[in-house]
Structure 1
C-alpha cells in the first residue's frame, strides 16, 4: 500500500529540510496534492533562545509564502497558549475548519495546525493526525540543529558560530579580516565590585552589556569578546566599505551613550551610582581564527590592531574623554574632530595619532 505523499516525505526526506519554514511548506504542498483543501498551516515550537520563548511559522495556501512570528512570553505557558498565535492566524484566514495536533502526541511538544476552505472529512483528519505523529522525528532533528546554532551564536557570536558549524574545529593559522573595531570599558568597576553585593554587580554588568552590545548589533556589528567589564566588537568591511563600517561604529557609540544616559538616570532614582565608560575606535586588519590547546579552542582576534584599540581606550580617563579615535579611523570619517596629538601606547611601537569627536 502506497503512503500518502505527505507521509512519504516525512519518512524519507523531511529530516534534511534546511529549516522549519521549508519543512512546513513541503508538508503543506504534499497535503494539498493529496487532496486536502488547505487555506493555511501553522507550526509552533519552543525556542532554545535566551530571549525568544517560541517560534511560529505560518504558511498561506494562496501565495505559498511562510512568515514567522516570535513569542517573548515568560516560561510556563501551557500548550494551548503556545498554539494561540497559529490558531488565531488560521482563523483570520477565514478557514471553515481548523485542525491542530501535538507533534508526537505529547502536550509539551510542537503544535501543528491546519486551516481548510471546507470542513475536513474524517479520513482527512486521520491523515493530519498521522502527519503530526510522523513529523516528530524529523522535527526533533531540525530542533537539535537549531538548538546547536542558537547555543553557538549565544556564546561565540554569529561569525564564529558559523565557522564552528561548518566544521572548523582544529587549530589553524586563521584568516585576516579587515574591520572597524570598537573597544568599550566601564570606569571604576573594581571599586563598584568592592562596595556592592555580587548580585547587584552582575545586574549592573548585564545592563551595561545590554546597552553597548545592543547598539553594536543594531548597526550591523558583532561582539567578539566580553572581557571582564569590557567588550570588543567589530564592524566587518566587505559588503560595506571602510567609511560605511566606521560610520556604523560611530552610530553604535552614540546609541550606546544614549542608552547608558537613560540607565544612569534610572539608577540615580534608585540611589545607585552611574556607570561611566570609555570607548575607543580603530580600523585595520586582524588575524581571526582558532587559538588554544589541541582539545580546548577559542575563536578570537589577535594582532596589533586589536592591541591598539584596547590601549587607546586606556587614554580616555587621562585625556578626560569618553570616546577616542585612532588616526586610521579618523581618516575614514568626515565628522568634525579634535586632534589630541600623538601618544605612545603601552606595548605599541609607533606613536598613535589620537582624535576626539567635536561635541
Structure 2
C-alpha cells in the first residue's frame, strides 16, 4: 500500500510530537506540501483538568501561528456562555461550513470525541475532502498517545504540583529517591476547624475549606511556590531556593502571606454579610533544608518533604494561637528579609531540641 508523505508521518513519527498544538501545525504543513489548499485548521480536545474542560487550537497556514482557546469546566472561574448566544467567529465558522470551505471530522464517536477541521480558500473538492478524512483517521493514534501523556501530566500536576510532577516523571518509582533541597517553607491551618465541622453540614464545611484553600494555594502559586500537601484544614508549601540565594525565596513566601491575609480579610467580609462566622487562621514561615522525594511502602509511594525544617515550621505554626498572632516567622527566615518584623523572643517548640527565635508581622 502506497502512503502519502503525510500519512507516513502520521503513522511513523507524529506520536512523538510534543503536544497537540504542534501536531496540528505540523499536520497542516504536511497537508499543504501534499498539495491540499488550506488557510487554517482547528483541533479540539477534551482534557482532564480541574478548571479546563476543552482546549481548542487554531492554526493559520500563512504565519504558521497557533493560538489557543479554552473552554472552562462548570464551576470554574470563567462565566458560562449565555444560552443560545452565537459569537461572530462562530457565525463565520457556520457560514464557511455551509459553503464547503470547512471540512470537519470527529476522531471517534460521541459528543466528546476530538474534532479536527480544516479551512480552505474555496470549497473543497470531493477528492480533497477524502484526503482530509483519511488524514483524520491516521491522526487518531498519535492524538491518542498525545492525549494520554497530557492526561498523565494533568492528573499528576493536579495532585502533586508542577515541580513535584517533573521530579516524579524524571526519576525511578522507588523509595528513597529524591534530593535534599533548601527552601522557604510555609505551614498554615484554620483555627476552630473542629468546631466548624461538628456544628455545620458537610456541604458548608467543604465550601469553607475550598474557599480557604483557594486563597492560600492561589497566593502560593502566584509567587512561585508549590503546595506539597493539604493536611485536613492545613497546608504545607515550599518556595525552593535557586542559585544558592535564599533571599528571593523568603521574599516570595512573605509576599504570599501578605496576599493570603488580604484574601482572607475579603472572604471574612463576605461570610459576615451572609451571617457566617469568619475563618481565623495561623501561618508560619521558616527557611531550612528538607528531603524532597519518595517515601512510603514498597508498592505505595508518596512524594513529599520530610526533615527537621518541616517539623519546625509545623510546630511554629502551633504557637500562633497561644501567642495570639496570625503570622509567625522563624529567625532563620527573618535574617533573609527586610520587612518590618516584631520580635517575640525565643520559644521552645515541641519536639525541637533548640529554642527558636520567633518574629511576627504587624497585625494591621
Query: TM-score, normalised to structure 1's length?
Result: 0.91
1:348 equivalent to 2:352? Answer yes
1:15 equivalent to 2:15? Answer yes
Contact 1:149 1:165 in 2 (8 A): no
The aligned residue for residue 264 of structure 1 is 268
Contact 1:42 1:90 in 2 (8 A): no
The aligned residue for residue 26 of structure 2 is 26
Question: How far apart are the structure 1 equivalents of 2:171 and 2:216?
Answer: 30
The aligned residue for residue 74 of structure 2 is 74
What secondary structure does 1:38 align onto?
coil
Question: How far apart are the structure 2 equivalents of 1:333 and 1:262?
Answer: 26
The aligned residue for residue 217 of structure 1 is 221
Structure 1 position 306, deviation (Å):
0.6
1:115 equivalent to 2:122? Answer no
Structure 1 position 210, deviation (Å):
1.1
Match among 130, 136, 143 for residue 139 of structure 1? 143
What secondary structure does 2:302 align onto?
strand
Question: How far apart are the structure 2 equivalents of 1:264 and 1:221?
Answer: 24
Match among 129, 132, 136 for residue 133 of structure 2? 129
Structure 1 position 356, deviation (Å):
1.1
The aligned residue for residue 259 of structure 2 is 255
Contact 1:41 1:90 in 2 (8 A): no
Q: Structure 1 pair 88/68, CA: closer, same or farther in 2 (3 Å)?
A: farther
The aligned residue for residue 161 of structure 2 is 157
Structure 1 position 178, deviation (Å):
1.2
1:332 equivalent to 2:313? Answer no
- Over the aligned positions, Cα root-mean-square deviation in angstroms equals 2.6
Structure 1 position 147, deviation (Å):
0.8
Question: How far apart are the structure 1 equivalents of 2:121 and 2:329?
Answer: 62
Match among 308, 313, 328 for residue 312 of structure 2? 308
Q: Deviations over 1:305-335 (max 9, x none)?
A: 1111111111111111111111111111111
Contact 1:58 1:86 in 2 (8 A): no
Contact 1:38 1:61 in 2 (8 A): yes
Structure 1 position 108, deviation (Å):
2.8
1:189-200 equivalent positions in 2, closer than 5 A? 189-200=193-204
Q: Deviations over 1:267-297 (max 9, x none)?
A: 1122211111011111111111111110111
Which sections of structure 2, spanning at least 5 residues, go unmatched?
none
Contact 1:44 1:112 in 2 (8 A): yes
Question: How far apart are the structure 2 equivalents of 1:197 and 1:9?
Answer: 57
1:292 equivalent to 2:309? Answer no
Q: Deviations over 1:90-132 (max 9, x none)?
A: 7999x99222211135543011111223332221111111112
The aligned residue for residue 44 of structure 1 is 44
Q: Structure 1 pair 294/23, CA: closer, same or farther in 2 (3 Å)?
A: same
Contact 1:152 1:161 in 2 (8 A): yes
Q: Deviations over 1:142-199 (max 9, x none)?
A: 1111111111111122222223323521112531111111111100011111111122
Question: How far apart are the structure 2 equivalents of 1:106 and 1:85?
Answer: 26
What secondary structure does 1:146 align onto?
helix
Query: TM-score, normalised to structure 2's length?
Result: 0.90
Q: Structure 1 pair 333/110, CA: closer, same or farther in 2 (3 Å)?
A: same
What secondary structure does 1:48 align onto?
coil
Between Structure 1 and Structure 2, how many residues are aligned? 353
Q: Structure 1 pair 73/307, CA: closer, same or farther in 2 (3 Å)?
A: closer
Contact 1:180 1:283 in 2 (8 A): yes
What secondary structure does 1:53 align onto?
strand
Question: How far apart are the structure 1 equivalents of 2:278 and 2:246?
Answer: 34
What secondary structure does 2:259 align onto?
helix
